[in-house]
Amino acid sequence: AVLRAAVDAGVNHIDTSDVYGPHVTNELIREALHPYRDGLVLATKVGAVRGPTGSWDPAFSDAEIERQVYDNLRNLGLDVLDVVNLRVMLNPMGPAEGSIEAPLTALAELQQRGLVRHIGLSNVTPAQVEEGRKLADIVCVQNLYNVAHRHDDALIDELATSQIAYVPFFPLGGFSHLQAAALNEVAARHNATPMQVALAWLLRRSPNILPIPGTSSLV
């Protein structure tokens, strides 16, 4: 119901991954929305698999990247994926330096085979973005960023000049919502909620920012 209501309200970009669940999220998207209406972009990601205890484990080999692409295709009911982000899992605590040439090359080869339209990067450092842009046409970067975590300020501005989208995950703080007196004060002045203010700040921050807040409620 939430998926259908979101699309009916004009949402045209859904962020997903077959590793969510795993498989469950993509299966729900297909059940609710397939066949997909024109203009709806499904952005998924590869680079990790779920371990037997629910851990997120790096999966960067050519065979693993290919298997994840096919898992996404199958469970979303697609012949080609709109956008695939290479999620870099070198450090579970956040971005960490290290070459992404091998997995990104594998993903680019799948793009050349017609299985992927566009490639993005996720959980990456500025150096990895620079490396990635030399290997493939990067259309978006998906990193942790919000009003309280602004470590990618310079990267956002650089990407904007190249018309590359920046997709902040956890735009409202993630599992613990953002809490700040400044947010509360601004929200009170504008008859809004603190979370609405946090999203509005992101939308004004730069024209290339595309937040992906999540919800499980129709209200």
Alpha-carbon gap, residue 55 to 32, rounded angstroms: 28
Class of residue 164 by CB neighbours under 10 A (exposed 0-12, middle 13-18, buried 19+): buried
Residue with tokens 């290290």: 98
Report whether 117 contacts 110 (CB < 8 A). Answer: no
36 catalytically annotated: no
Quick check: 88 and 128 in contact, CB under 8 A? Answer: yes
Among 20, 36, 70, 145, the active-site one is: 20
Q: Which residues are catalytic?
A: 20
